[in-house]
């Protein structure tokens, strides 16, 4: 039992290690002590800025409503969903899996944006 547990731990460590190497040698070296990066998207004048944001996997993105009317941040495929954000309210989501995440404002569906995690 103990043996199979340590094999599982070893396998997990190996898989995590491989994943890190795949991300890139630089990230691998910076690796362990690196704090999750935080990136901000501003909501202003009925738009998300930047509308398309590319981040590294593991990055926390914070949306801040700088508009004087309420907005939401809702992932098209259900990955995340904010409450209604009043002026200066924030919503954060950490992109722990690579992918493209289109999103919109459920109050004003013509407001769209996209986060690409890679």
Tell me the torsion sign for CA atoms 62, 79, 17, 2: positive
Would you say 48 or 101 has its CB closer to Cu ion? 48
Size of the site for Cu ion (CB under 5 A): 5
- Identify the burial level of 6 via C-beta atoms within 10 angstroms of its C-beta, where 0-12 means exposed, 13-18 middle and 19 or more buried: exposed
Closest separation in Å from C-beta 71 to Cu ion: 3
**Pattern 22-61, Cu ion, x by CB under 5 A:** ----------------------------------------
Closest separation in Å from C-beta 105 to Cu ion: 3
Would you say 42 or 108 has its CB closer to Cu ion? 108
Residue 57 neighbours by CB under 8 Å, 6+ apart = 23, 95, 96, 97, 98, 117, 118
Give residues 57-116 in contact with Cu ion (rule: CB under 5 A): 71, 105, 107-108, 111
φ/ψ of 4, rounded to 5, equals -70, -30
Q: Summarize as ranges the residues that interact with Cu ion (CB under 5 A).
A: 71, 105, 107-108, 111
């Amino acid at each position: 039992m103990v043996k199979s547990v340590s094999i599982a731990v070893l396998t997990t460590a190996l898989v995590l290690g491989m994943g890190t190497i795949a991300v890139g040698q630089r990230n691998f070296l910076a690796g362990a002590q690196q704090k999750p990066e935080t990136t901000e998207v501003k909501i202003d004048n009925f738009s998300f800025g930047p509308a398309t944001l590319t981040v590294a996997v593991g990055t926390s993105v914070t949306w801040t409503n700088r508009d004087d009317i309420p907005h939401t941040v809702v992932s098209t495929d259900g990955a995340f969903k904010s409450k209604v954000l009043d002026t200066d309210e924030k919503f954060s989501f950490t992109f722990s899996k690579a992918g493209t995440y289109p999103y919109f404002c459920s109050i004003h569906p013509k407001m769209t944006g996209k986060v690409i995690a890679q």
